[in-house]
Structure 1
Amino acid sequence: MAKKPVTKPRKIAVQERSRATVGSLIEATARILVKEGFDKASTNRVAEVAGVSIGSLYQYFPSKEALVAAVIERHQQQIMQMVRSELAQVRAQPLDQAIRRFVAVAVAAHRLDPQLHRVLAEQIPRVGRLEKLETFSRENFSLFRAYLETARDELAVDDLELASFVCVTTIEALTHNAVLHHGKVLTGDRMDALIDEGARLVTGYLKG
Structure 2
Amino acid sequence: MTHSANISARRTPRQYRSRQTVEAVLAAVPLILKRHGAGAMTTNRIAEVAGVSIGSLYQYFPDKRSVFSALHERHVVDVRSLLERHVASYGSAPFSAFVVDLVEELVDLHCVDMELHRLISVAINEGPEHFRAALHAAFAECIIRCGARDMDRILFVLPNLVEGLVHGVTLSPLTSRQAKGEAVKATLAYLAVHPELSR
Q: Cα offset for 1:53?
A: 0.8
| Kept in 1: contact 2:140–2:151 (CA 8 A) | no
Q: Cα offset for 1:12?
A: 0.9
Q: Cα offset for 1:176?
A: 2.5
- Residue 197 (str. 1) matches residue 185 (str. 2): yes
Distance 1:57 1:163 in 2: 46
Distance 1:31 1:20 in 2: 17
1:25-64 paired onto structure 2 within 5 Å: 25-64=25-64
| Kept in 1: contact 2:9–2:61 (CA 8 A) | yes
| Kept in 2: contact 1:13–1:22 (CA 8 A) | yes
Corresponding residue to 1:167 among 158, 168, 186? 158
Give 5+ residue unaligned stretches, structure 1. Answer: 1-6
Q: Cα offset for 1:109?
A: 2.3
Q: Secondary structure at the match of 1:173?
A: helix
1:99-118 paired onto structure 2 within 5 Å: 99-118=99-118
TM-score (norm 1): 0.76
- Residue 71 (str. 1) matches residue 71 (str. 2): yes
Q: Secondary structure at the match of 1:52?
A: coil
Q: Partner amino acid for 2:107?
A: V
1:148 aligns with 143
| Kept in 1: contact 2:161–2:187 (CA 8 A) | no
Q: Partner amino acid for 2:139?
A: F
1:176 aligns with 167
Q: Secondary structure at the match of 1:88?
A: helix
| Kept in 1: contact 2:139–2:155 (CA 8 A) | yes
| Kept in 1: contact 2:10–2:59 (CA 8 A) | yes
Moved more, 45-54 or 68-77: 68-77
| Kept in 1: contact 2:8–2:61 (CA 8 A) | yes
1:157 aligns with 150
Q: Cα offset for 1:66?
A: 0.7
Q: Cα offset for 1:196?
A: 4.2
Q: What RMSD, in angstroms, separates the aligned Cα atoms of the two structures?
A: 2.7
Q: Secondary structure at the match of 2:62?
A: coil
Distance 2:156 2:91 in 1: 18
Give 5+ residue unaligned stretches, structure 2. Answer: 1-6
Q: Secondary structure at the match of 2:14?
A: coil
Residue-by-residue CA offset, 1:91-148 (whole Å, 9 max, x unaligned)? 43222322222322222222233332233233332xxxx38x6444432321122111
1:4 aligns with none
